[in-house]
Amino acid sequence: MENQVEQPKLETQESNSNLAEIFDILSGVGLVGGAVGSFLGNAAFAAIPLSFSLALQIANRRRLKVELSQMQQSSTMEMTQQFNNNHSNLLEQLQQLREVQKNKLNQQDQKFKTLVNELSNNMKNNEESIAILTIKHQEIHEFSHQLESQQKQVQTIVKTLENIENFSQMIRTNPEGAEAYYQRGLNHQKLGDKTGAIEDYTEALHLDSTHPKAYHNRGVLLADIGNKKQAVEDLRLAAKYYFEQGDIESYEQARNLSKEFYEVRYSLVSEATAETINSQEEMSEKMAPEQKDLVTVGGLFDDEIDSQENISILG
């Protein structure tokens, strides 16, 4: 398209150039004619060619001026058109560049969001893993503590069994030693063998009827198996012999336990009796014979006849 537009312009420029050359030739001819007429001495003849030549020069200059003005306008229009075209191209390229940059930014933003989500998920997974590891560590620590505790218990049991065997050997060597029976009873009690412990405490009391610790421990075990009456009597005797030996602290412990077991037994008897009696008079009559068998706390230091009778019940 540009080549087609430029082609007429070139033809017009060539035509204008040829016309200018013709005017210049005619002007030259007029000058020559004027010069010839002047040389011949004919002033009138010489003035005509000169006037014609001058007129041609003036016309040629005007034409050139018009052509120059047209060329300037044409150049200005071409430059304006080219500028507009270039501006449109630049705007289009700029828009394309903006679209490209926008797409790149969107892609980068999407990648960034994806990366952030992945990091967040990884952190969450790590936190969960740390929490699980912490729980496992705590479980292992607790299990280790349990193993240590069980190991200590096993060691204690083994040691207690060894003690039982040692005291059994001492009893076989000296069957009359009350302390050996008492110590073996303690070890049976540690193992939870209440029956074996009561038997050893009873045998120790057969050999030494003033052994307060044997009475004390046997009384506690008798209370555990439900024999509150005999437990109160054993603790009463334990308190008596503790007091005689000057062990006031143990005396107070045994006395307090005897009171507690007595009150518990009395309460149980009262409740059982109250459930089967409808009147206060019948209840009093019912309780009268039962109270004969109860051990009073105030008579802790009665004669040893009762204690010997109670010992015979166990032994």
Q: What secondary structure does DSSP assign to 67-128, as a single string?
A: HHHHHHHHHHHHHHHHHHHHHHHHHHHHHHHHHHHHHHHHHHHHHHHHHHHHHHHHHHHHHH
More confident residue, 5 or 263: 263
Q: Token pair for residue 154?
A: 């096993």
Rg (CA), the chain: 69
- Looking at residue 293, its pLDDT comes to 37
What percent of the residues of the chain are helix, what percent strand, and what percent coil, each to the nearest 5?
90, 0, 10
d(CA 234, CA 231): 5
- The residue to which tokens 């040629």 are assigned: 60
**Cβ-contact 231, 291 below 8 angstroms:** no
- Looking at residue 313, its pLDDT comes to 38
**Residue 307: pLDDT band by 50, 70, 90 thresholds?**
very low
**Cβ-contact 178, 204 below 8 angstroms:** yes
Rounded to 5 degrees, what angle do the CA atoms 57, 61, 62 make?
120
d(CA 11, CA 19): 12
- Looking at residue 274, its pLDDT comes to 43
Q: How many CB atoms lie within 10 A of CB 50?
A: 16
Please give the backbone phi and psi of residue 126, each rounded to the nearest 5 degrees, phi first: -65, -40
Cβ within 8 Å of residue 155, ≥6 positions away? none
Of 62-66, 120-124, 185-189, 208-212, the one with minimum mean pLDDT is 62-66
1 pLDDT higher than 90: no
Q: How many CB atoms lie within 10 A of CB 88?
A: 10
**Residue 47: pLDDT band by 50, 70, 90 thresholds?**
low
More confident residue, 71 or 197: 197
**Residue 76: pLDDT band by 50, 70, 90 thresholds?**
confident
- Looking at residue 5, its pLDDT comes to 46
**Residue 236: pLDDT band by 50, 70, 90 thresholds?**
very high
Query: Each residue of 180-203: b (16+ CB within 10 Å) or e?
Result: bbbbbbbbbbbeebbebbbbbbbb
Instruction: State pLDDT tens for residues 167-223.
Output: 999 999 999 999 999 999 999 999 999 999 999 999 999 999 999 999 999 999 999
- Looking at residue 27, its pLDDT comes to 62
- Looking at residue 189, its pLDDT comes to 95
- Looking at residue 30, its pLDDT comes to 60
For the chain, give every domain's residue range. Answer: 1-158, 209-314
271 pLDDT higher than 80: no
More confident residue, 142 or 32: 142
Q: What average pLDDT does the segment 244-265 reach?
A: 86
What percentage of the chain has pLDDT greater than the value 90?
Answer: 32
